[in-house]
Amino acid sequence: MRATLGLTRPLVVRTTAVGDPGDLISRLPGVAPYAWIRHGEGLVAWGEAARVRVPPGPGRFAWARDWLAATLGEAHVDDEVRAPGSGPVAFGSFTFDPRSAGSVLVVPRAILARRDGRAWFTTIGEERLDTVSPLGDPGRIRYGDGSLTAPEWQHAVARAVRQIQSGRLEKVVLARDLTAVSENPIDVRVLLSRLARRFPECYTFSCAGLVGATPELLVRRTGETIESLVLAGTTARGTGPADDVARGAALFASEKDRQEHACAVESVREALDPLCSELKVPEEPELLVLSNVQHLASPVTGRLAAGASVLDVVEAMHPTAAVGGTPTRTALEVIRELEGMNRAGYSGPVGWIDARGDGEWGIALRCAQITGSRARLFAGCGIMGGSDPAAELAEAQAKLRVMQYALEG
């Protein structure tokens, strides 16, 4: 494993308590930033002490655990904070489809964090808080079709509905992409700042060029305690308070959306039951109101059996019915048949893990893959037997507007 890492000696890690750093994103230098922020708290990072591409295939999470054990387990750590996210941390992004290449784990050289009234700075080697360069505006943005045009995607939705009605499966999530080209190179820090400001209740993330603000917490592990937030069933915000309330009530009463949500909750229950000594799943969803959409949401909590890390939970849960479908294997087959694209990291797990096995991982939604002046934007919709292709297209467009806002300001 040491040869795979390209390391000649164990990492030397130091974590020290620091004063309140203010806005975490504003402390990032301009090159390849990493981030996981919600309500102003979380981690930002930069530099690379170790990086690896995780081989695709059904054993990729086990391979990643071995890599992490070899990298973080052998590190020489001086950690005066000893909190989740202190000491050495790896950021990661896994592709949605286990067959697809592109999953990555990175141990940054510098991590600045704030949580529950404490702040700390972790360094590997001689890294320090760098002087921050000015933000770069992306300038004018031109959009183009992704893998499918809007009419082609609606046709794919119609085909999926027919397959559901025929009894082949109960639900499938179909994604679509949109391309964007900017006048100037895209500064990820600009996107992170706009997303964190506009969607503070979401998890604003950046890892290996995948940038977004996801409302969906796949899992948080703190010691033996785990938390997850299941989202499935969506409607747009209203034109005013009364319309907002009416739309939320209609979503809550929608048989199609309630069934979609129930599928997602049951898939999480089935994944977590074998890992947990106790598990609490609400009988009824609640309404999560974001600045652009409303979701049916179910918070799930549990207590892990001894020895399971956050990555073990990620492996068990991915893909949930909220991003794949029901039953999972059939849904993956239908996605490969109808989407006409490689999702890459979209709707895959994204987040961080520390040397204790604590961490936070979300589902990479409302996101884009950034490369220089180019961005590939993603959105997806849960398709049921009663889905209307035009309504699903409108929902996807509403979700795409999150990253369009991030690009345009």
- Give catalytic residue positions: 171, 216
Residues 6+ away with beta carbon under 8 Å from 167? none
How far apart CA 377 and CA 379 sit, in angstroms, is 7
User: Within 10 A of 105 (CB to CB), how many other CB atoms are there?
Assistant: 24
Determine phi and psi for 332, rounding to 5 degrees. -60, -40
Token pair belonging to 292 = 């652009």
Tell me if 380 sits within 8 A of 174, measured CB to CB: yes
How far apart CA 196 and CA 202 sit, in angstroms, is 8
How far apart CA 140 and CA 183 sit, in angstroms, is 5
Tell me if 164 sits within 8 A of 201, measured CB to CB: no
Q: Which residues does residue 76 pair with via DSSP β-bridges, in sequence order?
A: 12
Distance of CA 263 to the CA centre of its chain: 20
